Structure 1
Amino acid sequence: MTLVANAVSTLHPARQPLRGSRSMTAEDLWAIPRVGSPVPSPGAASFAVTVTTYDLESNQGRGRVWLVPCERDRAPGDARPLTSVEASSGEPAFAPDGTRLAFTRKSANGKVQLQVIPLDGGEAQKLIDLPLGGFDPRWLPDGNRIVFWATLLRGHFTPEATRTEIERRDKDPVKAQVTEERLYRYWDTWLTTGETPHLFVLDLAAGSLRDLTPDSIGWLDWMDPSGHYDVSPDGREIVFSGILFDHDRSLVRSVLHRVPLDGGAVRSLTASHPAEDLRPRYARDGSWIVFGMTEDPTFYADRVRLMRMDRASGKVTPLLVDWDRSPIAWEFAPDGTLFLTAEDQGRTSIFALDPASAGDPREVVRGGTVSGFAPMADGRLIFTMQSLSQPPEVFLGAPEKGSVTQATRFTDPVLESVALGEVREMRLEGAKGETIQMFVTLPPDARGDRPLPMVQMIHGGPHGISGDAFHFRWSPHVFAAAGYVVAQVNFQGSTSWGQDFAQRIQGGWGDRPFEDVMRATDHLIACGLADPDRMAAAGGSYGGYMAAWIAGHTDRFRCIVNHAGVYDLLGQYASDVTQGRAKSMGGEPWDGLEAIERWSPARFASGFSTPMLVLHGERDYRVPVTQGLACYGVLKAKGIPARLVYFPDENHWILKPRNSLLWYREVLGWLERWIAR
């Protein structure tokens, strides 16, 4: 990319409250209902959606399944709850005839069990009582059976054996973890305990339960385990994507498997593929399967290519491999059109692909950020959509008309009482003459007559985005409400601008992104938005890495916020996933140590002089807590003002409501201390 001229536009205008007059607070974030992915009924006359609300007193959230009418050419009707508020529910799935709804509900012991409720009235019926619960239910075409995942313990591959082993472990005073595996924990969970998902089929009439994958020792996506299998249109088989550790290559990858529903062995379909095989979906006639494939197992943001597998022969051929965007999810419509979501220039949109043509997908719904979409029987699409100024709500789209209609308004009661500042989108010249983009959120009362204190909010990854999405953990509007201009730079290395844009910073984490953030800062000063004497840099994960890197390379910021940031690159070999470290960091400790240290913030502690707030969770296995503790220890030893906020019960993210409120108080308090005045 080459810059032609600096560009700026208003993305979301400032919004004044319909009642009252106040700015957004962290408490508002936890008062906003969190709207999940909609599930359309078979006849497209209604949809079910899970809405989660949070209670600060109990410090937890509870999901509730709602039913919303949505007949074609009529405005959505009034939503009514299908599940009670006593226990958290979710994952709704309509029976093929639309008369019943399966869903999951959390039981008293905290495990999620499967239930079914008649939609014409009546109480929910509990269907299973498994020791580690079940999830992701799907009805089979006959309407008499339900398929779902349930977790068992490795070596104890029946519900009864798993239950017995859990009881034994609970009584055992020794809690040590022992392993010889390279991958032994993930995110905030030890994998050495042996939890393994198995695919079960439940016959409702007979009350029988059968394990379709009795010998399985693989995993599903730990962050989002649902949505990784599909049932063939004839109801005879299931195809799923499972994660395994390839010991011969010493890396994690995923493989497609096929299992017959009438009994039989699980068969691997893509064992020879190089990296990830993702999200299989049957074509409407069942003759072939579309799935996503990556090629580089050492680059977690490698572009997803769509492939098609002939169901009879098993032959795999390309479907969409030259498009310079990366599909996230894909589903077939009744007419055979393949709809998919993908990031594009800081947004996530819906695209349509004709499997019979050789062209690129065409955009049919423009984000914001679109997710959780599903084609409906009447040709419409249903999905959640959000933006920097609008939390997720359900929308209906008619691709042939290009129209989009909002179908729910669960978040309106909170948003009607708060003011939101203007959000602008800017494009400017970054490092090496490349064009970069950023979103800028202004305080609600900003008049544009003077520069304001500014916060650079640096996203994680590094291969991710600051997208046009409503962020609850790092809300730019809450920061802006305190009087700050908030800049979110999509520096080189970010996704949604193509493979090269994302990949070009490998082996040089502190190079182009640092220059991009500095150039964006210069731009905000030059256009009169940012006060150069009152600026802060803040970020989490890779954003925390960049915050620490900034601390060692410039003193232009009055303070820094480092949440769960990488301080010592070599120390990241204590992280949960170590494959690909050589490519991202420039080398291995035994072959490239100098390159690793070249981009490690710890090496540049001699340049530290800026006050820094360090925040970290004990259960963070992605960026171990020692990273934050070491950074804080060096700052204090050097006599630099520093403050540590340690969360013993949080992981890489701060997820508990009251911990989150403390996080916002500490971060906003640190900013007020150094740049508000």
Structure 2
Amino acid sequence: MTVMATKFTPEVLLSAPRRSAAVPNPAGTLALFTVSQYSFETHSKDYAIKVLDIKSRHSTQLFDDPAYTEPTWVSETEFVFLKNGDSTTSLMAADATKPGSDPYEVSSFSATVSNIKVKDIGNGTVAFACTAPTTADGAMLNAADEKKPHSSAQVYTELFVRHWDAYVSKNKQGLFYGALKKVDGSFKLQDLGLVNALAGTRLECPVPPFGDASDYDVGKEGIVFVSKDPDLNPALWTKTDLYYVPLRSFTEAKAPLPQVVKTGKLQGYTGAPTFSHDGTKVAFKRMRSRQYESDKWRLLLLPDIKDLSNVQEFYETKDGEGAWDARPEGVAWSNDDRELYVTAEKDGRQVLYKLPSSPLEAKELPQPLTSDGAVGDFRNLSQSRADGRLFVTSTSLVDNSSYSIIDPESKEIGLVSSSSKEGKSFGLTRRQFDEFWFKGAGDYDCHALVMKPSNFDPSKKYPLAFLIHGGPQGAWGDSWSTRWNPAIFAEQGYVAVMPNPTGSTGYGQALTDAIAQDWGGRPYNDLENCFEHIADNLPYVDTTNAVALGASYGGYMINWIQGHPLGRKFKALVCHDGIFSTMNCWATEELFFPMHDMGGALWENREGYARWDPSASVGEWATPQLVIHSELDYRLSISEGLSAFNALQTRGVPSRFLMFPDENHWVLKPENSLVWHKEVLGWINRWTGLDTTGLSEEAEKVTLG
């Protein structure tokens, strides 16, 4: 699974191998990972489980069956994984040092199992946990046993009706545990089988729609997990709590009732619960607000798992804001449990930090261990207390996957493996990357990232691709993407500029919070300032030949720009899954979002919704625009895209509508994604005069109705 390209095209992006995070074994000598690759020639996907020899940097394929997923170490050489069937799942085991040998079945389940975790708890026992859909009584759900109704009708009496890209069913996710032991040289699941730790409760883990194995952890003293507060409607409130289920043998026939961890005034989202190696402490993160999905994460410590009322906050201040103005994401413990490693956004990077594991000792703010790229997965290289090194999976704007070893003491970083040879396989280099700061609309500065063509010549002028991020509480970063990849635009001949205006994350919580109830105000003015900064300070950019593109909130801003002066400075616009009218926000599913960002319910603050409504200025729309929307986008109903296209067509503005009936808020299927890229590039190239060969079939045509 390799790729070598002289030009980075959509086909290269979408057919490049995609590696998972690599997970080292307890000895720190081998690492398991998966890799998939799509072929536009055969219209099929290859998949493999591989093992990396960390010292030699050589990887070996173990299996190529796409039904094999989630390889997880259970010893220094052995690992378990899932074999997925139509409505069944088998837990399999194999030896990573014996490629070509057949795996054996540990156990099988009449359900769709996922998110597996294991933990050696001593006495030859390996605790095992996983998640699976359940029936009303908490048993694993076998989809094949469900009765098929004669009608497709569904009746709802409470929220949610639908969530992300599916209509909500009555089936919930359960969190199951069991114990593995070796019998005659093979791992076996103990006779009790798997027990649902959530049976008889109204709790669910992982938290839909994006919850995964990071929503829970397994330790020597039991399981900690995150679940929505069952007494609050999940469509209206973000509150999720941390719960603890005490277990000693993981063969308990009935789990003790989950116990909630008390966190005082912090009542919002909870995430990343992580046991210390000795199993007595838990680090996790939590937000304060119960109705704001982008509130600042606070890093917390439960110093004694047996005292759930004693939770300590890192960098706590009397005003409740916290001394560390960052948003911690992932969490890991050092081997001796004396330090924590945490990732957080900073100035367009996802940085790895180090700090003492006790809030009482964390006097100084965390120290960064990295400065570029985006750290994703990170964990101890080995389980030896004498080895403090970390094994890190990361990406950048030019590299789609790299594995490195970091020494937290010296901060030395040693590259072990790069899927793209640090971008060379794509024809990309770090020389293409740049950045600048510009004056915001108030007393603050904003940051922007820049991606130049690989054949960049500073004496020439290049058209501008002005990319506006979604969220709106989000940010462009030095990270890889297969959906919005700035290098794709740069290799077409654009200078791609990615501003992070008001609402962006990674620049302090005040900038993030300031977009609420001001969607078309400060952020729009910041973008105007950024455009002027480019015109005045980047002589190699031709701002008279510019296009702007955005998705989600970025799509909203494209529609807002259409009706305002900045819209006349672009040759063409692209709006993906944008908002046509803020008055329609109550067609979304997570209603806590408009209630926070628009200042209450629609009937409580109708003026607030109307103030930033793009459709109110539709009479000014004049710039050619491509509109993209998908039928399964339940965040922003497809009616938003249709409304924008209908308005453009009725006004006689050159426009085009691209629709996917089988995609959600994101376009994920390779064949659909290729069409998306060709349509987008064909559209903007048509208006800027760049080459349209091989792009949209009708790139030379303009739809006028």
TM-score (norm 2): 0.87
Q: Which moved more, 1:374-383 or 1:559-568?
A: 374-383
User: Sequence identity, in percent?
Assistant: 26
What CA deviation, in whole Å up to 9, does each residue of 1:347-369 have, x standing for no partner?
00111111241222111122310
1:37 match: 21
Quote the Cα distance in structure 1 between the aligned partners of 2:5 and 2:241.
Answer: 54
Inter-partner Cα distance in structure 1 for 2:245 and 2:111 = 24
Paired with 1:61 and 1:156, the residues of 2 have a C-alpha distance of 38
Distance (whole Å) between structure 2 residues aligned to residue 113 and residue 676 of structure 1:
55
> Counterparts of 2:327 and 2:422 in 1: how far apart (Å)?
36
More deviation in 194-203 or 568-577?
194-203
Q: What is the CA distance between 1:509 and its match in structure 2? A: 0.8
Partner of residue 4, structure 1: none
Give the whole-Å Cα distance in 2 for the aligned partners of 1:58 and 1:177. Answer: 39
Is 1:258 the counterpart of 2:256? The answer is no
In the alignment, the residues of structure 2 paired with residue 268 and residue 184 of structure 1 have an alpha-carbon distance, to the nearest angstrom, of 29
Amino acid at match of 2:222: E
- Aligned residues of 2:178 and 2:190 also touching (Cα < 8 A): no
What is the CA-CA distance between 1:60 and the residue it aligns to? Answer: 5.5
Q: Which residue of 1 aligns with 2:334?
A: 333
Aligned 1:125-144 pairs, distance under 5 A: 125-126=104-105, 127-142=107-122, 143-144=124-125
CA separation of 1:511 and 1:231: change in aligned 2, threshold 3 A: same
CA drift of 1:144 comes to 3.6
Q: What secondary structure, in the 3-state scheme, does the structure 2 residue paired with 1:591 have?
A: coil
1:502 is displaced (CA, Å) by 0.4
- 1:118 Cα offset (Å): 2.3
Q: How do 1:568-647 and structure 2 match up within 5 A? A: 568-647=581-660
User: Which SS does the other structure have where 1:664 is aligned?
Assistant: helix
Residue number among 64, 71, 96 corresponding to 1:92 in the alignment: 71
Q: How does 1:119-198 map to 2 (within 5 A)?
A: 119-121=96-98, 122-126=101-105, 127-142=107-122, 143-159=124-140, 162-163=141-142, 166-169=144-147, 171-198=148-175
Letter of the structure 1 residue corresponding to residue 407 of structure 2: A
Q: How far 1:522 moved relative to its partner?
A: 1.4
Residue 129 (structure 1) shift: 3.0
| Contact kept? 2:206, 2:212, Cα under 8 Å | yes
| Map of 1:350 onto structure 2 | 352
Tell me by how many angstroms 1:648 deviates.
Answer: 0.4
Question: Are residues 1:451 and 2:430 paired?
Answer: no
Partner SS, residue 602 of structure 1: helix
The Cα shift of 1:111 comes to 6.4
Between the aligned partners of 2:233 and 2:571, the Cα distance in structure 1 is 50
- Change in 2 beyond 3 A, CA 1:661/1:407: same
Cα pair 1:149 1:198 within 8 Å, conserved:
yes
SS in 2 for 1:630: helix
Question: Which shows bigger deviation, 268-277 or 559-568?
Answer: 268-277
Shift of 1:166: 4.4
Cα offset, 1:650, TM superposition: 0.5
- Measured in 2, the distance between the counterparts of 1:626 and 1:417 equals 38
- The 5 Å alignment of 1:191-590 reads 191-203=168-180, 204=188, 206-213=190-197, 214-217=199-202, 218-221=204-207, 222-232=209-219, 235-247=220-232, 250-261=236-247, 262=252, 263-270=254-261, 274-309=267-302, 310-314=304-308, 315-321=310-316, 322=322, 323-336=324-337, 337-356=339-358, 357=361, 358-376=363-381, 377=383, 378-412=387-421, 415-416=424-425, 418-419=427-428, 422-526=432-536, 527-554=538-565, 555-590=568-603
C-alpha distance in 1, partners of 2:189/2:562?
65
Note if contact 2:629-2:660 (Cα within 8 Å) is conserved in structure 1: yes
Partner residue, 2:669: 656
State the Cα distance separating 1:311 from its structure 2 match.
1.8
Q: 1:120 to 1:391 in 2, by over 3 A?
A: closer
Deviation (angstroms), 1:439: 0.9
How far is 1:172 from its partner? 2.1
Pairwise CA distance, 1:69: 2.0
AA aligned to 1:242 is S
Following superposition, the deviation at residue 216 of structure 1 comes to: 4.4
Q: For the Cα contact (< 8 Å) 1:45–1:69, is it kept in 2?
A: yes
Question: CA 1:664/1:123 → structure 2, altered by over 3 Å: closer, same or farther?
Answer: same
CA distance in 2, matches of 1:157, 1:291: 27
- Range that drifts further, 179-188 or 23-32: 179-188
RMSD over aligned CA atoms reads 2.4
> How many aligned positions are there?
647
Amino acid at match of 1:167: D
1:91 partner amino acid: E
Q: Deviations over 1:366-417 (max 9, x none)?
A: 2310011102332111111211111121111111121111112333398436
Q: Please tell me the residue identity of whatever aligns with 1:25.
A: T
In 2, Cα distance between equivalents of 1:205 and 1:451: 65
In structure 1, the residue matched to 2:702 is none
- Check 1:248–1:418 CA distance in 2 against 1; reply closer, same or farther (3 A cut): closer
CA contact (8 A) 1:429 1:435 kept: yes
**In the alignment, is the contact (CA less than 8 A) between 2:89 and 2:111 conserved in 1?**
no
> Quick one: which amino acid aligns to residue 274 of structure 2?
R
Q: C-alpha displacement at 1:112, in angstroms?
A: 5.7
Gaps of 5+ in 2: 181-187, 317-321, 691-705
- Report SS of the residue matched to 1:339: strand
Letter in 1 for 2:119: W
Letter in 1 for 2:145: E
The Cα of 1:110 is off from its aligned counterpart by 7.5
Letter in 2 for 1:211: V
**Cα distance, 1:190 vs structure 2:** 2.2
Q: Aligned with 1:426: secondary structure? A: strand
Q: Deviations over 1:295-340 (max 9, x none)?
A: 0122211111112223222222223442110110101111221111
Structure 1 partner of 2:6: 22
Cα distance in structure 2, aligned partners of 1:116 and 1:216: 32
- Encode CA deviations 1:132-159: one digit per residue, 9 max, x unaligned: 2333232342454442223233415323
TM-score norm. by structure 1 comes to 0.90
The one of 101, 109, 112 aligned to 2:79: 101
Higher relative contact order, chain-length normalized (CA < 8 Å, sep 6+)? 1
| Corresponding residue number in structure 1 for 2:39 | 55
| Partner of residue 697, structure 2 | none
Distance 1:168 1:582, change over 3 A: closer
**Contact (CA 8 Å) 1:620, 1:652: kept in 2 or not?**
yes
What is the distance in 2 between the residues matched to 1:58 and 1:228?
Answer: 37
Q: For residues 638 and 533 of structure 1, what CA distance do their matches in structure 2 show?
A: 24
CA deviation after TM superposition for structure 1 residue 282, in Å: 2.1
Structure 1 residues 275 and 513: CA distance shift in structure 2, 3 A: same
Q: Residue 427 of structure 1: SS of its match in structure 2?
A: strand
SS, match of residue 645 in structure 1: strand
Give the drift of 1:461. Answer: 0.3
Using the TM superposition, give the Cα deviation of residue 591 of structure 1 relative to its aligned residue in structure 2, in angstroms: 1.4
Rounded to whole Å, the distance in 2 between the matches of 1:528 and 1:88 is 53
